[in-house]
Amino acid sequence: MTTILEQGNINIHTENIFPIIKKWLYSDHEIFLRELVSNAVDAIQKLSMVARAGDFSGDITNPEIEITLDKDKGTLSVCDTGIGMTADEIKKYINQVAFSSAEEFISKYKDNADQPIIGHFGLGFYSSFMVASRVEIDSLSYQEGATAVHWSCDGTTQFELSDSDRSQHGTTITLTLMEDEKEYLEPARIRQLIKTYCDFMPVPIKLDGEVVNQHEALWKKSPSSLSDDDYLEFYRYLYPFQEDPLLWVHLNTDYPFVVNGILYFPKLQPDIDVTKSHIKLFCNQVFVTDNCEEVIPRFLMPLRGVIDSSDIPLNVSRSFLQNDRTVRRIADYIARKVADSLKQLYRSDRKQYVRSWQDLGTFVKFGSLNDEKFKQQVEDILIFRTTANLSQAQGDSAKVEVESGGDDVWQEVSANEESATDQRGYHYTTLKEYLERNKDRHENRVFYATDEVSQATYIELHKSQGLEVLFMDSFIDTHFVSFLEREYSDIKFSRVDADLDDTLVDREQDSEIVDPTTNKTRADQIKELFEQALNKPKVNIKPQALKGDATAPPAMVLLPEATRRMQEMSALIQQKAIEFPEEHVLMVNTAHPLIQNLLNLSQGSIIQTGGGSSPSAELAQLICQQVYDLALMAQKGFDAEGMTTFVDRSNQLLTQLTEKV
């Protein structure tokens, strides 16, 4: 058994701890003003609570906070018309560091509270010593018969208490600013600080007789009392010179934590920096930061707006925030609300949803990649642009269950329109709907395109054969396709320029033997012809008869899905641009008249010549090379050498053809 030798209290020497509080507790000097104004707001709120409880009968109708700058004296003062303090209260709350009156006060007046009290820790006041060599308090308590008191302290642990000539209830805090903190005597600087930190505080704050803060904290109001214009105006106020947002969600919960806020979906710029937050974090209407990466999930970064929560611990380090349970739950709540709202919009106004998809899509996909819970919520409302015309099928596709979302409301900006196409008239579908529609033709197989322009031939070929193609062409889609494949392992995704689907090929043709001496089929002959003409051993010539006659192209360069992805992956790892692989497939469409003519041309030459190459054999060779280059163009641009060759050959061919005519 251990013997206890001694028990006792640990002592803290104020002389030692005081400089630490002054210097290290807050990193930014300027926040002293936020702290003093918050105390003044608290004092005014407290007085109105006391009045409501019937303990004060004086006038509380015009509360205000006045900031005065005196360059001659080098002082800044913050004067409020609040509750004031008696000498005893000053001794209790000011002289004792880290002792706040908030808890005591709230337990007494909780029934009369309409606004929360900001201060909690009993430390804020001391932040004034970061910038002041002397701090003075003049205060008169609201209590009847109270006498005004003056408190003064020069930043040591010594203070002085004396009488004051203050005649109105409330408190004035006067700071004598240190030599290198004189910037706080400049009205422009103070105005900017009030705008930043105190703009939404519920009491007018005056500087030189003029009210500087002005804006109503819209997020504190009931969503049902607000119009679209209110939300838009507020957005324009927060983010001047920006395009109007697409949509917004009003967060409003008291339990199990307090979160209010309005989150807006902006129109995303393609170069949006998803690592930078633009959401402003407030605590009881006091601005804290616009850098709230820890509080909101990473994928919500592109959103804008305001989050206000008194439940987010603010005076702690950022790494702690990330691990804080309440913060995590708040983050989850916000993500869930955003997903709920998207679902609600999808269900109630699919047209608007589709029209906003260009901007919303990246965000929703990014969220799905990053957050399993979010993904589960939005998987049924992830849509893709399709080549199918869904005009007739609209309406029955939007059946998604949505939980009713408490007090939150979801609004959209523009009015309804009839058809669920986007501004360019394109149709959209979910993966589920796509698979269901096409299950008889190609079960569990998805054809997609990543570039509408360069893959136009391939897309057309699919379309002409009635195959539906989805566009996965935003920058996030490369990752997203792989992600979808992992998620739905039974579904095969093939890009339109990978292997051609059986439905596009006529298997019957070409198998017939056309040369009994060699047992060669027509396909064999075409393969040989191209192999010789191109002389590229790494290009795999694949003759196939495409359905669709002349609408299908004479040749196509195909990149098998697996090869292409390996290529993309290694480019990503090595941080290099994707190079077009030397090994690829040249599909030659044996059903195309050009290819048939080409074969005849080359065969004619065999009969004509005994040795060496005849003019028509040469022509056939040039045409093979030209056909290959044209097919290659859909996959990649030419380099300088390739371009010269192509142009020269084109001219040579045209010359030869015109000679023949």
Ligand X SMILES: Nc1ncnc2c1ncn2[C@@H]1O[C@H](COP(=O)(O)OP(=O)(O)OP(=O)(O)O)[C@@H](O)[C@H]1O
Q: CB of 553 within 8 A of CB of 465? A: no
Q: Is 40 in the site for ligand X (CB under 6 A)?
A: yes
Q: Which of 113-121, 151-159, 353-361, 424-432 is the region at the interface with ligand X (rule: CB under 6 A)? A: 113-121
**Per the annotation, does 39 bind a ligand?**
yes
Q: Is 125 in the site for ligand X (CB under 6 A)?
A: yes
Q: Is 101 in the site for ligand X (CB under 6 A)?
A: yes
Write down the least CB distance from residue 186 to ligand X, Å.
Answer: 23
DSSP states of 385-442 = EESS--TTTTTTT--------TT-EEEESSPP-SS-B-TT--EEEEHHHHHHHHTTTS
Of the candidates 66, 80, 412, 468, which one interacts with ligand X according to CB under 6 A? Answer: 80
Nearer to ligand X, 80 or 349 (CB): 80
Of the candidates 45, 60, 67, 120, which one interacts with ligand X according to CB under 6 A? Answer: 120
**The two structure tokens encoding residue 457:** 């031939």
Q: Is 83 in the site for ligand X (CB under 6 A)?
A: yes
Binding residues for ligand X, rule CB under 6 A, total 22
The residue with tokens 């002085």 is 160
Q: Is 580 in the site for ligand X (CB under 6 A)?
A: no
Write down the least CB distance from residue 122 to ligand X, Å.
Answer: 4
Q: Is 529 in the site for ligand X (CB under 6 A)?
A: no
Of the candidates 25, 102, 272, 400, which one interacts with ligand X according to CB under 6 A? Answer: 102
Q: Give the orientation angle of helix 615-633 with respect to helix 640-660, to 10 degrees.
A: 140
Q: Is 130 in the site for ligand X (CB under 6 A)?
A: no
Nearer to ligand X, 190 or 546 (CB): 190
Q: Is 362 in the site for ligand X (CB under 6 A)?
A: no
**Per the annotation, does 95 bind a ligand?**
no
The residue with tokens 């701090």 is 135
Q: Is 438 in the site for ligand X (CB under 6 A)?
A: no
Query: Residue 323: which of 313, 333, 315, 338 has the closest Cα?
Result: 313
Write down the least CB distance from residue 126 to ligand X, Å.
Answer: 6
- Per-residue DSSP letter, 240: T
- With a CB cutoff of 8 Å and minimum separation 6, the contacts of 457 are 553, 556, 634
Tell me how crowded residue 27 is: count the other CB atoms within 10 A of its CB: 8
Q: Taking CB under 6 A as the rule, which mask of x and - marks residues 166-205 in contact with ligand X?
A: -----x----------------------------------
Query: Residue 85: which of 10, 170, 197 has the closest Cα?
Result: 170
Query: Residue 334: which of 427, 391, 262 has the closest Cα?
Result: 262
Write down the least CB distance from residue 44 to ligand X, Å.
Answer: 9
Give the dihedral sign, CA 460/462/463/469.
Answer: negative
**The two structure tokens encoding residue 575:** 């941080």
Q: Is 260 in the site for ligand X (CB under 6 A)?
A: no
Q: Is 284 in the site for ligand X (CB under 6 A)?
A: no
- With a CB cutoff of 8 Å and minimum separation 6, the contacts of 112 are 49, 50, 52, 53
Query: Residue 120: which of 326, 325, 290, 313 has the closest Cα?
Result: 313
Of the candidates 67, 76, 85, 283, which one interacts with ligand X according to CB under 6 A? Answer: 85
Binding site listing: 35, 39, 80, 85, 171, 318
What residues make contact with ligand X under the rule CB under 6 A?
Answer: 35, 39-40, 43, 80, 82-83, 85, 93-94, 100-102, 119-126, 171
